[in-house]
């Protein structure tokens, strides 16, 4: 069943709606963005969606996997993704973009976060300095190929994320509702490498996107909003349609 990440969550109500409807990952943005969230609200979301008794360390086995440099890319990313699903609860992901490591580490501790998403041009090696599993974005533009440097490097990021490169957006990539060619993503699944896919997804097209690209998971932000606010009905429809595909 397809993993679903609801990103750009800024309220407890939206987070609870996502969690109750089966979202696997709840993303909160700590980079400059109209969806920027403050630490105190992120902490309230963490209290609302993560049971107090739940063990909060998805990094344990990922750290072990990071030492297994002899794993092939399909084996490594499959092992990482399987581990993340083993916790049986929504994981909290903080999204950062070309920000200082000290800032990232501080937010990880304060919220606390289960995952970090590096959504800029950070080198994949930066993931080794972060104590929780890392989702690393690779922006799909006109010159993109799946053999892009770093995409298949093992022992660094735990999850590959493909998102649309929007040149007009400048430094603030992500959340613009622009699609890329899903057959590019399909070339990853044809290699048996699990990945997340974002970019212009919505309740109306996510089912087709899953059928064409066969991703491990899908990631949405603007596609489940109305007037720039998370829409409970759209969140529910997106999750249902993604998991039914």
Length of the chain: 245
Give the pLDDT confidence score for residue 51 in this predicted structure: 79
93, β-bridge pairs: 27, 115
pLDDT in tens, the chain (245 residues): 999 999 999 999 999 999 999 999 999 999 999 999 999 999 999 999 987 656 556 555 555 555 555 789 999 999 999 989 888 899 999 999 999 999 999 999 999 999 999 999 999 999 999 999 999 999 898 788 888 767 898 889 999 999 987 754 444 544 456 789 899 899 999 999 999 999 999 999 999 999 999 999 999 999 999 999 999 999 999 999 999 99
Give the pLDDT confidence score for residue 68 in this predicted structure: 53
Nearest residue to 119 (alpha-carbon basis) of 157, 166, 161: 161
Give the pLDDT confidence score for residue 170 in this predicted structure: 47
Token readout for 36 is 């920027």
Nearest residue to 57 (alpha-carbon basis) of 91, 29, 81: 91
CA angle 236, 238, 82 (to 5 degrees): 100
d(CA 108, CA 208): 35
Burial class (CB in 10 A: 0-12, 13-18, 19+), 171: exposed
Give the pLDDT confidence score for residue 57 in this predicted structure: 60
Burial class (CB in 10 A: 0-12, 13-18, 19+), 73: middle
Q: Measuring CA to CA, how many Å separate 60 from each of 83, 86, 131, 183, 194?
A: 9, 12, 9, 34, 20
Give the pLDDT confidence score for residue 165 in this predicted structure: 73
Token readout for 45 is 């979301």
Burial class (CB in 10 A: 0-12, 13-18, 19+), 75: middle
Give the pLDDT confidence score for residue 169 in this predicted structure: 45
Give the pLDDT confidence score for residue 174 in this predicted structure: 46
d(CA 218, CA 211): 12
H or E element: which one contains 238? Answer: helix 232-244
> What's this model's pTM, rounded to 2 decimal places?
0.91
């Amino acid at each position: 069943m397809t993993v679903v990440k609801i990103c750009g969550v800024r309220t407890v109500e939206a987070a609870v709606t996502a969690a109750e409807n089966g979202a696997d990952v709840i993303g909160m943005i700590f980079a400059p963005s109209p969806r920027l969230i403050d630490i105190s609200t992120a902490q309230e979301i963490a209290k609302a969606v993560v049971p107090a008794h739940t063990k909060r360390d998805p990094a344990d086995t990922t750290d072990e996997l990071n030492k297994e440099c002899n794993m092939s890319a399909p084996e490594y990313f499959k092992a990482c993704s399987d581990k993340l699903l083993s916790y049986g609860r929504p994981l909290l992901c903080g999204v950062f973009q070309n920000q200082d490591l000290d800032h990232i580490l501080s937010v990880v501790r304060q919220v606390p976060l289960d995952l970090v998403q590096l959504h800029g041009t950070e080198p994949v090696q930066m993931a080794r300095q972060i104590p929780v599993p890392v989702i690393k974005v690779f922006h799909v533009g006109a010159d993109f190929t799946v053999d892009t440097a770093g995409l298949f490097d093992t022992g660094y990021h735990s999850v590959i994320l493909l998102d649309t490169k929007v040149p007009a957006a400048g430094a603030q990539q992500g959340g613009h509702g622009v699609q890329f060619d899903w057959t590019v993503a399909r070339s990853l699944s044809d290699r048996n490498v699990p990945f997340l896919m974002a970019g212009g997804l919505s309740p109306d097209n996510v089912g087709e996107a899953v059928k064409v690209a066969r991703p491990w998971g899908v990631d949405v932000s603007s596609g489940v909003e109305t007037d720039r606010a998370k829409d409970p009905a759209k969140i529910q429809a997106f999750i249902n349609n993604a998991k039914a595909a």
